[in-house]
Chain A
């Protein structure tokens, strides 16, 4: 039990080791601080083992029935979800910190930066292991400020503006979260997680916002909390703080994209029993997630900067993760955010090398393999068709028959399978296009590898769901709460499938110089859309304009009201 308490404090110790000491020993201290972080990771792994084999761990430094408690109730509640997040955060932190000691070597601000990284890890760990909503909110806000500090550079105007934008946008979301917390306390009289869920389920409350418009208490609370989650997870329309913070050092992005941005998904999962009480909120989450996924991915395709491309890729992935939550597939969302976090941290830590190498070698990436054949071979077409049409059918059959997942009842699983299909097919078709696969061996190897990965992925997800939510009834309850009308869900799936297959066909045919008779207006729309997406839908400009208009109004008001004190 005490071991758990040490995990966050090891990270705080690491920060102290970096900060306190002479300038001469700075390098040695920076290296030494990696050990407590490593120990925190080991502690998290042991914690994960403890909670996986036993009950959740609880430590409270306040007494629920006594007034002799701290103004801010500090306590830890670590269940499987918290332990998984702790392991992810500390694991990624070990890598990022070790990388950072080399990356920031001889930088003037290395000490401040490394200490901030340790402090951010500490705050993240405390946040995911909070015993109540109040403590979670406390660390949630501190995280907003730390993000501002990490993303800014004293002397660079662009960075400062980006950091300020990040802070103000996150504060807007924080305010909604605070309103949700205050409302939850007013309605249910507690902010303790388990007690809150029990009271919310036992006591349905109806609120009257204005005459004729009523809303359940759970819906009002979860909608406000969801806006808070939207901020940290960069959901449309408060997503544009993420590209604005891209001036920060590369390891900060690794931490941001692997850890901090997952806070929204974690919050929804932590409060899953509350969100499960409101179908309206889950449907709103599905809508926002879908919009964010589409817009994020579209904007990613139009970017010409590696960091911005990765940033918008993260926005798209977070949209997908929120969409999964909106479909009641909470465990899938956590699985997704872990997989995405590990992948994106790796990519961010590598992107600096790629840029550096590209600067040194003008021909990097190498182009000698890109000599394409004038036409696609039959084998290539065959591989592509099997990948796009046969594999999804096989996945559906196996899922339905072998895993006995009721596909018709769990829309989240269907969406997840859809995701596997699109991403894997996209990957293999890209390879096909680049390498012009014309060998049976290569095709067979690709297909078998793909099948292996897909099925391992499926089994892993199923096992993970069982691990995180051992009660199947609970999982079924969430799916039921999030259930969309059948016709709407079918429409979404069919439309997305048709659009995807049509898009692929168009792209791969035109990429090989085959002329397609397309109506002129389609080309015109494509070109017209490219510009706004490349400019990130002018969201930054819109934000700036809104700010200017608001400030102009404020100044006009100030001038009209001369102020008695002047």
Chain B
């Protein structure tokens, strides 16, 4: 086994070992949480040290860095409670599976994706409540994804390409296979929704690298159509939601659909695409953790309008939530904006209508996210509510998300791997592709 073959196994193995090593602390939630965070940090350190010695995927190395970081943040942002113990260990398990899917060569990559999707489907079957009843559509979607991932490993082209595309559509949500993503964000326990919102789309994007260049034109055109429908659908549904987790799920679906549209038009996946997917996932991760802070204090699924006035009672929380909201709605100088602009300027537009829909979806985010922030933070302070600002771990996790999003918005383009320059590219003389 050569070094480039061994290192991916090592990267994937560290979090799995961490999950096993943390199990002895399961009777003490505080120590278990500390152990899981430490193992996520070790995993991040190993990725930073060894990433340069593996084959760089087409979408760049950003995904590899973001996964352990998101795992660490997701665990750190949770309160140390007995109910969350399993979710922390599972976060490490999924981190290991995710890293192996991103780094180990086929067919192991497909097998890991099958296990990952199957596990999520199993968790969705187990976890339901009166507030969030069991969703057979969601379980079915992940079941289909697992089946397709397995089929893509077992079969030859063109069946494997089609199956792989379907698996990607489940992971990186694309209408009409998005219901699994929605249920994962709303039903999964503890730190898992916050981590899954980063893991699943990045795994799907990695799968797309091989698929998009090989699918026929008509399939790519159909995918583009579904992507535009998904961008509008996600934005409209997000506008109608009063439940924060659904709002965030539909909002991120809208942004991921924009990525699908660009991918179907250009047929290639660049590091800019990874930047958009990773930062949208990370911003949503931060907002889910921020909502978790409110849930911890005022109960699950509390009406945001019933707890107005957090800005005066919880100033640190207000500042960080505002910054996260800015990032999530695609405003500069955060990473979502850099990713979106990067794709907008480096991809051809197959249609002006498509561009219009993508821009409207981007615009709609300003509406529903700003509305959510206004409901939560502003308004009259309620005397009957007890306001407690962020605790140490909560503050740290949200601050890290904001700083990373800021860094990704300002970092040099070379950080994500080489590609054509964003500026200075002459296309004069070419016939304009921007027409009907």
Contacts and interface: CB of A to CB of B under 8 A. Distances in A.
B426 to A, nearest CB: 5
Interface residues of B, number: 71
11 contacts: A62-B423, A67-B419, A70-B410, A70-B412, A141-B332, A154-B377, A157-B379, A182-B345, A185-B345, A554-B239, A565-B138
Per DSSP, are chain B's interface residues mostly helix, strand or loop, or mixed? helix
B410 to A, nearest CB: 6
Interface string B350-387: 00100110011011001100110010011111000000
B413 A67 contact: yes
B182 interface: yes
B409 A71 contact: yes
Interface of A: 62, 64-73, 132, 134, 138, 141-142, 145, 152, 154-155, 157, 160, 164, 167-168, 171-172, 175, 178-179, 182-183, 185-192, 199, 202-203, 205, 207-211, 217, 551, 554-555, 557-558, 561, 563-566
A32 B137 CA distance: 62
Interface in B171-221: 179, 182-183, 186
B236 interface: yes
Contacts of B312: 154-155
Given A155-B379, A157-B379, A175-B360, A186 B349 contact: yes
A71 B428 contact: no
Given A142-B331, A209-B435, A565-B249, A64 B424 contact: yes
Contacts, number: 174
Given A73-B423, A145-B331, 6 more contacts: A73-B422, A178-B362, A185-B345, A186-B433, A199-B428, A564-B179
B246 interface: yes
B423 A138 contact: no
Nearest to A149: B322
Contact of A65 (B367, B421, B435): B421
A71 B342 contact: yes
A565 B183 contact: yes
A565 B374 contact: no
Contacts of B420: 67
B431 to A, nearest CB: 9
A555 B182 CA distance: 19
B230 interface: no
Contacts of A192: 423-424
Contact of A565 (B179, B419, B428): B179
Given A69-B421, A175-B362, A555 B240 contact: yes
Contact of A160 (B137, B352, B362, B374): B374
A73 B236 CA distance: 33
Contacts of A71: 275, 338, 342, 408-413, 422
Nearest to A206: B432
Of A132, A154, A179, A189, chain B has the most CB atoms within 10 Å of the CB of A154
B413 A70 contact: yes
Interface in B311-338: 311-312, 326, 331-333, 337-338
Contacts of B422: 69, 71, 73
B381 A183 contact: no
A69 B435 contact: no
A72 B333 contact: yes
Contact of B423 (A178, A186, A191, A558): A191
B428 A189 contact: yes
Contact of A69 (B352, B359, B413): B413
Interface of B: 135, 137-138, 179, 182-183, 186, 236-237, 239-241, 246, 249, 275, 309, 311-312, 326, 331-333, 337-338, 341-342, 344-345, 348-349, 352, 355-356, 359-360, 362-363, 366-367, 370-371, 374, 377-381, 408-414, 418-429, 432-436
A208 B411 CA distance: 38
* 8 closest Cβ pairs, A-B complex: A558-B240, A565-B182, A564-B137, A564-B179, A189-B427, A64-B424, A71-B338, A138-B332
Contacts of A145: 326, 331
A186 B326 contact: no
Contacts of B349: 182, 186
Contacts of B380: 155
A189 B425 contact: yes
Nearest to A152: B378
Contacts of B241: 558
Contacts of B378: 152, 154-155, 160
Contact of B434 (A73, A157, A183): A183
Contacts of A154: 309, 311-312, 377-379
Contacts of B411: 70-71
